[in-house]
A and B are shown apart, each in its own frame.
Chain A
């Protein structure tokens, strides 16, 4: 009888402690639905995700073991405008634009997730070490961060790709090498800040161990800025990767990558005198895909920042 009552009290207390969290969650959802831009961002990402998942259905590959190779309809140089056969037309060398942008969506997600995932992990690890232990470890890691951050992303990535060889895999590797510092610095900053807070001192005073403090107090408070940064970063990473492919340093010719497709269009900016916009589809369509993809992630990242940052929530 007594046990039953104490169990009841436990769940009762738990339920009561949940109530403010549920309220906050409801408020978060309210903010998301109230802000049209964040809904737009969410919608865009979902659409692109659908396209990427359904790529084999939407654009069946010619060769099943090489789906990223865009099929060619002949070898003529001049791009053809949209037609019944080719919904978005063809680009230089008769590569089908529609196929390229559909599978390019998959490429973009792959690059984005791989790079951001890896950089987050590396940054999390190194930043946590630097922030929590301080001292020499902190100094070394921060100098490393300074060195890497003193060179613009594109330039350093260019240099690394040149050294490793021109391929999409090397682009990913280069972007990982170039991209981890921002996460490390962010996590370190958060940990330094949280470390000084009164509630951490209070936890120590009550006898909390280091590990518990990190897990229970520090990490949950540091996660939100990381999420925000990651969603903004996916867009930036895809843009840089596209730029590298555009310059010819990334995906090989004929690979389904948005940047690569735009690099084709370089030679076909201006059409014949009577119809200067003849080849608009070669550049506009891959570009629009890029724009909306990055826009979706940026909107989402902004929405996260407005909604999750406790100081900005109630503005």
Chain B
């Protein structure tokens, strides 16, 4: 599987009154095409910050200090993919990437939707932002049909002018002439065709995603929809332009279990239908087991372990992962729940070296000196722990 996206040594800080919060301290991660990778960790370990950093959506007082996010983009001829470093790009290019190549969906669906605009408006916005040329194509086809119908003389002139405008738009969507035209009051209505076309596309998309009665839903406002439906609309917004990577930031955490299952099914189906890779961020190990192929475990701004889900659950290597899995209550288990002793560290003054070492039952002297790097122990299993580094060294000798 070729690598779709590679994150190298990503560092992000937040400059607050109390001090500099070192939220991400050298994240290393990579995803292949069509893969569902889970990013697991407790609240506050930096999962969302990672997601926002990928899309360069970190705003002051936060700042991405250093690192690389290399994405393989398909260029216009749909052939060779060449890598670009997202953190190096201008805002203008990032706007072309967001919602287009990489999309993101959020935890709180009701917050993610703008309350004063209809569903149609918001889903169409994705199409109108990134798929203008395709929309123009469809509109032109309709105009040709209308011209062919042979209407009145005045109508024909208007249609011919519309055709001119849309041809111009297909060539150059951001031409200044069009900007001027959209300013004039009556002429401005030419946009109506495109908006209508976008609406048709939105309905098609929502039907494909399994939303019942999309023509109805599209006319509604966010507060009129149930939680599950809202999340489906958010997913529709994200998938409008068939992104290669979908970042899902705890999309099911606020939903009840039955809806959760439906949404997970929906997301799983994406991989078959659209070949979308999904970076699934969650704190729920159950969901990880359900939907992810590989999982990366995060703690206090570090990635501590990456492994295929099966081996991760069967034989966790990093002490933190072990602690996590042990603290999950199992049926038939008696006695006290086992928790990891200690507290999550304050990221303004994090522990030196490995950030988990104050709570680690296997701590060694080395652990507080230098941060262990993420090393590949077995095939596609990575751990950042000196325990296992020693073992590899033993294996080497």
Contact = CB atoms under 8 A, between A and B. Distances in A.
A and B touch in the complex (CB under 8 A): yes
Contacts of B153: none
Interface string B10-23: 00000001000000
Interface residues of B, number: 1
Interface in B1-51: 17
A314 interface: yes
Instruction: Summarize A's interface: helix, strand, loop or mixed.
Output: helix
Nearest to A313: B17
Nearest to B18: A27
A27 to B, nearest CB: 7
A314 B17 CA distance: 9
B57 to A, nearest CB: 19
Nearest to A31: B17
Contacts of B17: 27, 30, 314
Contacts of A30: 17
B70 to A, nearest CB: 35
A312 to B, nearest CB: 14
A27 B16 CA distance: 13
Interface in A251-279: none
A182 to B, nearest CB: 29
Interface in A68-112: none
Interface string A297-315: 0000000000000000010
A27 B18 CA distance: 10
A27 B17 CA distance: 9
Nearest to A314: B17
B16 to A, nearest CB: 8
A34 to B, nearest CB: 9
A30 B16 CA distance: 14
Interface string A5-34: 000000000000000000000010010000
A270 to B, nearest CB: 46
Interface in A234-251: none
Nearest to A27: B17
Nearest to A23: B18
Nearest to B16: A314
A51 B251 CA distance: 62
Interface in B282-324: none
B386 to A, nearest CB: 37
A262 B194 CA distance: 63
Contacts of A314: 17
Contacts of A27: 17
Nearest to A30: B17
A314 B16 CA distance: 9
Interface in B185-199: none
A309 to B, nearest CB: 16
B348 to A, nearest CB: 14
A121 to B, nearest CB: 37
3 contacts: A27-B17, A30-B17, A314-B17
Which 3 residue pairs of A and B lie closest in terms of their CB atoms, listed nearest first?
A: A27-B17, A314-B17, A30-B17
